[in-house]
Amino acid sequence: MYVSNLSLRDFRNYRRLDLELASSTTLLYGVNAAGKTSLLEALYYLATTRSPRSSSDRELVNWQAEGEAGALPFARIAADVQQAHARTRLEVLIQLRADESSTQRPQLRPQGSAQKLIRINRKPVRALDLVGQLRVVLFTPADLVLVYGSPAERRRYLDITLSQLDPHYVRTLAQYNKLLQQRNSLLRAWRERRRPLRGIDDELGYWDNELTAAGGYVLAERLRAVADLNTIAGTLYDTITGSGQQLAIGYDSSFERPTDTIEGAALSQRMLQSLRALRRDEVQRGQTLIGPHRDDLTFAVGGINLGIYGSRGQQRSVALALKLGESRLMYERSGDMPVLLLDDVLSELDMQRRKHVLSSIRHTGQQTLVTATDLSDFEPDFLQQAHHLRVENGQIFAL
Amino acid sequence: MRPAYSERPQLVVEPVARLIEEFSRLPGIGPKTASRLTFFLLRAEPELAHGLAQALHDLKDQVRLCQRCFNITVEEFCPICLEPSRDQSVICVVEEPLDLLAIERTGAYRGLYHVLHGHIAPLDGVYREHLKIDELIARLRTEAVDEVILATNPNTEGEATAYLILKDLVPLGVRATRLARGLPTGGDLEWADIDTLGAALEGRREL
Ligand SMILES: [Zn+2]
C-alpha cells in the first residue's frame, strides 16, 4: 500500500498542505524544526490514531488555528491510501474542546482537551476502525529505547504492530485495558479500606473471567508474533551486523504459562488460576499483578541479554532488526507492504548499518519517506533514485 | 492574584448569570445552550418560567421511589406494583426507570420489576452497595417469585451487574434468565427498538 496524497490543515506548523507522494522513496530534507518530522507524525497518526512523540492531541493543533463559524479550532489530516484494487480516503479531525468550567459535575472524569472525529471514505467511524487502514513502520533515533528502555516500550512495539495487522487484536486490547482499569479500581477500594472485604470472590469473579478471556487472546497473539519475529528479525540481525550470530527474542510472561501450548483458551485458563492464587497480594497492592500489561520482551545473542549487557552498537542493530522485522511481518501476514517512515535515523548509524537499511528499501520498491538534514549521509545512486522535497517553515517545495 | 476580568463590573446581572450556571450543570448542556435557554426564558411569558419552576420543585418534592420495586412514583408504591393483574411470580431487574418504560412499551411483559438505579462501575466508584441489590434479595426472601429476569444492559457494566446478582440468586434457588442476544451489544435497553426488545424478552435464556 502507499499514500498517494496527504493533506494537512493547521497540523503542527503546517497551515495548509496538499501533497502528492510517490509510491517509491521520497527524501524530505530541510533544517531542524522545518516540519519534516511533523509530516511523518501525521501519517503515523492516521495509521495508529496517536502521535509517536506527544501524549496530548492538543499540541498537534497549530496555535494560530481558528475554527469556522464559531466552531473551536481544529487540525485536519487526510490521506488517500492506494492498495492493489482500492483507494481509501482517511481523515482525522482533531478539535480543541472549550475549557472545562468549574460548574461541571465533579463525577465526570476529566476529559482530554481535544476530541477526534474520524472518517473513512467520508463516513464517520470510531477511532478503532481507523487502525489498520494504513499500515506504517516508523524508524526514529528513539527506537533504541526498545532495547534498553522500560518494558512498556517493548509491549507498545508488539501492540502497535499487531493492532495495525488485526482489527480483532486492537479491539480486544482496548477491551482488556478497560477491564483492567475497572478491576484495579475495585482492588484499590479494598486496599484503601473503603469497602468491606466480604464477597470478594463474587465481586471479582466477573472481572477475572473477562480479563483473562481477553488477556489469553492478547497473549496468544503476541506469542505467535514473537515466534514469527524470531525467524525474521533473528536473521536480519545477522545480516545487519555480519556477526554470524542470530538474535533470540524471548517473551517474558508475568505468570507461569503452559509450556506445551500457546493457544488462547489454555492461556486464559492458566491466567485465571494464577489470578485466583494472588488474591491476597492483589488486594494488598491494590492492583492486578499479572497479565499482558505486565509482560516483557528480551533480546539475546549467544545467551547474553543485550538490553543489559549489549554495547550501543549492538543495541542499535537490535532496534533496526526489530523495525525491519516489523515491516517484513506485516508484509508476510497481510500480503501488502507497509509504508516506511524513517525519521532522521541514518545519521545515527554507521556506514555498514546505513548501507543495509538503504539497500533493503531500494530492493523492495516499498513506499518510504526519509527525513534528513544532511544529504551527505546518502550515497549518490540513492539520491538519484529518490524524489526530493525541500521542507521549510511548514511548506514543501518540490525540486 | 485575581484574574483581570473579575475586576471589571459584572456584565451579566446576577440572576441571569446564576441560571446560566445552573443550566450548564445539566448533562449535554454547554455554556452556549445554557445562555440561549436563559435568555429565552427571560423574554417568554412569566407563566412559562413559573410553570417550569413549579415542575422542578414538584419533581424533587413529590416523586419518590416505590417501597417495593424502587420504580419512580408519587405514592408509597408504584402503579405497576399496585396493579393486581400483574404476574407476581416474575421480577424483571433493570438498571434505570427508563429501561422499565422501554420494556413496558413492548407490551410483551406482564410481571413485576426491580429497579437497581445504576450498574456496577468500579472506575466511577459505583459498587454493589450503591445499587438496590440487597433490597432485591430481601424481596426474594419474602415474595413467592419463580423467575428473575436480569435485564441489565448488554455491555460490560450491565453484564458485571447481572453476574453479581446471579451469584446471590443461586443459593436462593430462584430461576434466573437473561434477555436473548440480539440486542445491540454495548448499547442501552433504553434505546433498543420495541420489536427487538420484545423478541429479546420472549427468547430469554436460562442462566
Ligand atoms: Zn413498584
- Helices A200-241 & A351-364 angle (0-180, nearest 10): 100
Q: Residue A6: which H helix or E strand, with range?
A: strand A2-11
What letter would DSSP give residue A134? B
Distance between CA A330 and CA A338 in Å, rounded?
7
| CB–CB contacts below 8 A, A to B | 52
Q: What is the pLDDT of residue A92?
A: 96
CATH code 1.10.8.420 region(s) in chain B: 14-62
**Residues on chain A touching B163 (C-beta within 8 angstroms):** 205-206
Q: Which of B31, B156, B167 sits opposite A101 (nearest CB)?
A: B31
What confidence tens digit (pLDDT) does each residue in A40-76 have? 999 999 999 999 887 788 889 988 887 666 677 899 9
pLDDT band at B3 (very low <50, low <70, confident <90, very high): very low
Residues on chain A touching B122 (C-beta within 8 angstroms):
182-183, 185-186, 189
Flag if B123 and A181 touch (Cβ within 8 Å).
Answer: yes
* Residue A103: band (very low, low, confident or very high) from pLDDT cuts 50, 70, 90: very low
- Does the pTM of the predicted model rise above 0.90? no
What is the predicted pLDDT for the residue at B4?
A: 40
The pLDDT confidence band at residue B132, using thresholds 50, 70 and 90, is very high
Percent of chain B with pLDDT over 70: 92
Amino acid in the structure at residue A167: P
- Closest C-alpha among A178, A136, A143 to residue A160: A136
Mean pLDDT of A366-384: 88
A354 alpha carbon – ligand 1 mean position (Å): 75
Mean pLDDT of chain A: 90
DSSP reduced 3-state for A322: helix
Query: Is A81 part of the contact surface with chain B (CB cutoff 8 Å)?
Result: no
Least confidently predicted of A61-70, A112-121, A235-244: A61-70
Cα dihedral sign, A135-A139-A143-A146: positive
| pLDDT for position B5 | 43
Residues of B in contact with A197 (CB under 8 A): none
Q: Choose from B134, B163, B172 for mutation: most chain A CBs within 10 A.
A: B163
- pLDDT at position A98: 64
Query: Distance from the CA of B141 to the center of ligand 1, in angstroms?
Result: 17
Task: Lowest mean pLDDT of A23-27, B27-31, B110-114, B191-195, name the range.
Answer: B191-195
Interchain pair A205, B24: CB under 8 A: no
Q: How far apart are the first and last CA of chain A?
A: 25
The three cell numbers locating residue A180: 483492567
Q: Which of A127-136, A160-169, A258-267, B187-196 has the lowest mean pLDDT?
A: B187-196
pLDDT tens string B133-185: 999 999 999 999 999 999 999 899 999 999 999 999 989 989 999 987 767 66
In the block, cell 501450548 appears at A261
Chain A nearest CA to B63, separation (Å): 23
Is B165 exposed, middle or buried, given 0-12, 13-18 or 19+ CB atoms closer than 10 A? Answer: buried
End-to-end CA distance of chain B: 62
Name the band, by pLDDT with cuts 50, 70 and 90, for residue B2. very low
> Cα(A135)–Cα(A296) distance, rounded to whole angstroms?
24
The domain B72-206 is placed in CATH, from the list 3.40.1360.10, 1.20.1050.10, 2.130.10.10, 3.30.70.20, at 3.40.1360.10
Residue A280 φ/ψ, nearest 5 degrees:
-60, -45
Alpha-carbon distance of B87 to B82, in angstroms, equals 12
CB B87 within 8 A of CB B110: yes
For the stretch A148-197, pLDDT in tens is: 999 999 999 999 999 999 999 999 999 999 999 999 999 999 999 888 88
Name, in order, each residue with C-beta under 8 angstroms of A318's C-beta and a sequence gap of 6 or more. A146, A147, A237, A247, A299, A306, A310
A183 in reach of chain B (CB within 8 A): yes
B-interface mutation test, from A95, A102, A202, most B Cβ less than 10 A away: A202
Question: What share of residues in chain A are helix, strand, coil (percent, to 5)?
Answer: 45, 25, 30
Mean pLDDT of A17-39: 93
Average pLDDT over residues A266-275: 97
CA of B152 to the centre of ligand 1 (A): 17
Closest-approach residue (CA) in chain A for B121? A182
> Which among A98, A202, A210 is the nearest to B167, CB-wise?
A202
**From the DSSP assignment, how many helices (H) and strands (E) are in chain B?**
8, 7
Question: Is 70 exceeded by the pLDDT of residue A85?
Answer: yes
ipTM higher than threshold 0.95: no
Q: Where in chain B is the domain with CATH 3.40.1360.10?
A: 72-206
CATH class entry, domain B14-62? mainly alpha
Q: Does A129 touch chain B (CB under 8 A)?
A: no
Q: Is B25 on the interface with A (CB under 8 A)?
A: yes
The per-residue pLDDT for range B38-54, each reduced to its tens digit, is 999 999 999 999 999 99
Partnered with residue A252 across adjacent β-strands are A296
